[in-house]
């Protein structure tokens, strides 16, 4: 951690031109002279006042501060606010409907079609808007495995967002950057451009649109950087299964540094993916987005994007200590001394930090692991009726994989003020462009081939629903996860839950036995039965509505009405 003296020195140094920055500035002048040949921006029609490519964090932070985009906190992190949009805006997300993708996209409320004429018109207005601006380019990779990675070029209006995506993508070496060539995909990001929603018949001034055939995406009107990250993820979730037979997953991954045994943690925002995978006794492969190939697991990213609300060093030391120079804080309130207040919810509950994965001391050096031995589905059950941990059969694993039940936590999306139960296909429905059955088939094939063990973990409530019960203690969840990873859980006696079709262990080391069977934690068992029946019906109704073509054996492996 920085002390007072080196904090002051660091803050001053941001605005000093040292030899390395001078060298960068010299390189930038060459880039400006030759950017049309080197980066294709003139071919896009972008007439920027200058173009800056793959700048260092120091230079990007200096430029962001001079632009008034943010401040340095007392630890050296850049703190920014994102204005109106403090979370993802799912109703502003579209996919260009073309002949080449029409028959494979799972069209509906999540994957909304838009005409290429609308996409191109908004794109051209964004290009015109950037005329005369200083533009920031980051060329990097999605995919830590060179065999499957894709080259991304991200064109930013704001240096703070360029720093963010530099933190989050796989950063190229000097040699890789030198021979980068043409990107596989280009993202054009201009939050200052507000779309005329009425003219184009869309939802708001924000537009997050992907043209898979053109290998191009645009993000307009929103300064929330999570939109950039998730657009890259959405592109990989199309490209990997269609082109590479790689299963894309919204998950975190870690591995035993001695044995190499790899574990996968599925879950939506707020369910504990980042927290539980940042284990000091295991090597972190990545915290959010991965691919599962025939060779093993690989991280799509080169960084982490963690929630900050109520962050404490004692509870999440790895994340807390990663917030220093080079990190980007979003919507975290600071005091007059630039000290962050992680408990302040005045801007949003969805406070965030982005940082390179190497800021975590035990991070994997290459972002890759072996075939997973264990998969854990994390769910925050606001009803308080699911067991803290249960073992899943092969078919039950597929059922819960496609169902993706959790509680949508406050602030993760606009308009969500308190926890709400939700079903998100594949634990990442907003980012999955193909049919659930396509991903489920790939998942089942891997379970069959490798014998991976699968568990359902409730990181939510026990003893009653949200508002009555209490959140399951993180220490207990960590102990259950440890038992699942090291095989101790398999030594337990199991009881079958007929309602939810789950195998529940009756005891786990360092976990009170009385919390293992959820019905026993409620003061009124009849009230538990009523609430559990309610949730079981939600499962069956959701499955019948969303997955009518799923095989019968998968349906029968899920909850049953009594």
In three-state secondary structure terms, 518 is helix
Work out the pLDDT band at 32, boundaries 50, 70, 90: very low
Q: Measure the CA–CA gap between 404 and 379, rounded to whole angstroms.
A: 8
- Domains belonging to the chain, first-starting first, are 34-70+84-244 (3.40.449.10), 372-555 (3.90.228.20)
Judge contact between 378 and 370, C-beta under 8 A. Answer: no
The catalytically annotated residue of 89, 186, 274, 425 is 274
Q: Measure the CA–CA gap between 529 and 518, rounded to whole angstroms.
A: 10
Across 211-237, average pLDDT: 98
What's the pLDDT at 13? 41
- 281 is an active site residue: no
The catalytically annotated residue of 166, 352, 391, 453 is 352
Q: Which residue has the tokens 């079609």?
A: 113
- E-strand ranges in 448-488 read 453-458, 461-462, 470-471
- 473 is an active site residue: no
Question: How does DSSP assign 206-244, residue by residue?
Answer: -EEEEETTTTEEEEES---THHHHHHHHHHHHHHIIIII
Judge contact between 220 and 194, C-beta under 8 A. Answer: yes
Residues 6+ apart with CB under 8 A from 467: none
**Per-residue pLDDT tens for 513-548?**
999 999 999 999 999 999 999 999 999 999 999 999
**Per-residue pLDDT tens for 238-287?**
999 999 999 999 999 999 988 999 999 998 877 888 788 878 889 999 98
How does the average pLDDT of the chain come out, rounded? 90
Handedness of CA 103, 104, 109, 111 (dihedral sign): negative
Structure-block tokens of residue 19: 């030899």
Among left, alpha and beta (phi > 0; psi -120 to 50; other), residue 181 is left
Work out the pLDDT band at 561, boundaries 50, 70, 90: confident
- 123 is an active site residue: no
Structure-block tokens of residue 452: 């991976």
Query: Is 373's pLDDT higher than 80?
Result: yes
- Of the listed ranges 99-113, 123-137, 397-411, the least confidently predicted one is 397-411
Structure-block tokens of residue 34: 């030759």
pTM for this predicted structure? 0.89
Judge contact between 103 and 83, C-beta under 8 A. Answer: no
Judge contact between 462 and 473, C-beta under 8 A. Answer: no
Q: HEC string of 293-339? A: CCCCEEECCCEEEEECCCCCCCCCHHHHHCCCCCCEEECCCECCCCC
In three-state secondary structure terms, 454 is strand
What is the longest distance spanned by two Cα atoms in the chain? 74
The catalytically annotated residue of 52, 171, 229, 273 is 273
Query: Is 55's pLDDT higher than 50?
Result: yes
Q: Measure the CA–CA gap between 520 and 280, rounded to whole angstroms.
A: 33
Q: HEC string of 236-270? A: HHHHHHHHHCCEEEEEEEEECCCCCCEEEEECCCC
Q: Of 111, 91, 82, whose CA–CA distance to 189 is shortest?
A: 82
- 153 is an active site residue: no
The catalytically annotated residue of 222, 269, 425, 521 is 269
The catalytically annotated residue of 52, 88, 149, 150 is 88
What's the pLDDT at 414? 57
What's the pLDDT at 20? 37
The catalytically annotated residue of 250, 368, 373, 446 is 250
Query: Is 3's pLDDT higher than 70?
Result: no
């Amino acid at each position: 951690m920085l002390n007072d003296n080196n904090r002051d020195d660091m803050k001053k140094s941001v605005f000093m031109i040292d030899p390395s920055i001078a060298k960068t500035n010299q390189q930038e002048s060459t880039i400006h002279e030759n950017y049309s040949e080197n980066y294709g921006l003139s071919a896009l029609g972008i007439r920027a006042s200058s173009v800056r490519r793959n700048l260092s964090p120091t230079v990007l932070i200096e430029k962001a501060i001079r632009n008034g985009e943010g401040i340095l906190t007392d630890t050296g992190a850049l703190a920014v606010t994102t204005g109106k949009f403090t979370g993802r805006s799912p109703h502003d997300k579209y996919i260009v409907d073309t002949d080449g993708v029409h028959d494979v996209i799972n069209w509906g409320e999540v994957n909304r079609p838009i005409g290429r004429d609308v996409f191109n018109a908004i794109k051209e207005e964004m290009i015109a808007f950037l005329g005369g601006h200083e533009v920031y380019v980051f060329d990097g990779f999605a995919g830590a495995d060179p065999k499957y990675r894709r080259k991304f070029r991200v064109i930013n209006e704001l240096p703070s967002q360029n720093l963010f995506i530099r933190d989050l993508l796989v950063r190229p070496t000097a040699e890789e950057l030198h021979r980068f060539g043409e990107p596989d995909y280009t993202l054009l990001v201009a939050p200052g451009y507000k779309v005329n929603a009425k003219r184009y018949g869309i939802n708001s001034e924000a537009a997050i649109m992907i043209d898979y055939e053109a290998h191009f995406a645009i993000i307009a009107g929103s300064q929330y950087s999570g939109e950039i990250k998730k657009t890259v993820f959405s592109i990989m979730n199309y490209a990997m299964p269609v082109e590479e037979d790689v299963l894309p997953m919204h998950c975190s991954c870690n591995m035993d540094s001695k044995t190499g045994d790899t574990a996968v943690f599925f879950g939506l925002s707020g369910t504990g993916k980042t927290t539980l995978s940042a284990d000091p006794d295991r090597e972190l492969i990545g915290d959010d987005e991965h691919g599962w190939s025939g060779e093993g697991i690989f991280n799509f990213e080169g960084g982490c994007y963690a929630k900050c609300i109520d962050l404490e060093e004692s509870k999440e030391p790895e994340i807390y200590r990663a917030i220093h120079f080079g990190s980007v804080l979003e919507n975290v309130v600071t005091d007059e001394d630039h000290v962050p207040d992680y408990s302040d919810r005045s801007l949003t509950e969805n406070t965030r930090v982005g940082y390179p994965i190497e800021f975590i001391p035990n991070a994997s050096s290459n972002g890759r692991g072996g075939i997973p031995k264990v998969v854990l589905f994390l769910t925050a059950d606001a009803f308080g009726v699911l067991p803290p941990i249960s073992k899943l059969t092969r078919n039950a694993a597929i059922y819960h994989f496609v169902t993706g039940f959790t509680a949508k936590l406050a602030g993760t999306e606009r308009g969500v003020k308190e926890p709400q139960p939700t079903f998100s296909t594949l634990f990442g429905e907003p980012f999955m462009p193909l049919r659930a059955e396509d991903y489920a088939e790939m998942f089942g094939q891997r379970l069959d081939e490798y014998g991976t063990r699968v568990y359902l973990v409730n990181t939510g409530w026990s003893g009653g629903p949200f508002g009555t019960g209490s959140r399951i203690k993180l220490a207990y969840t960590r102990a259950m996860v440890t038992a699942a990873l090291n095989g101790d859980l398999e030594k337990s006696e199991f009881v079958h839950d007929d309602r939810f079709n789950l195998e529940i262990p009756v005891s786990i080391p360092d976990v009170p036995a009385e919390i293992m069977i959820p019905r026993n934690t409620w003061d009124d068992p009849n009230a538990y039965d009523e609430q559990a029946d309610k949730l079981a019906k939600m499962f069956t109704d959701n499955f019948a509505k969303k997955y009518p073509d799923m095989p019968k054996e998968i349906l029968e492996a899920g909850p049953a009405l009594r």
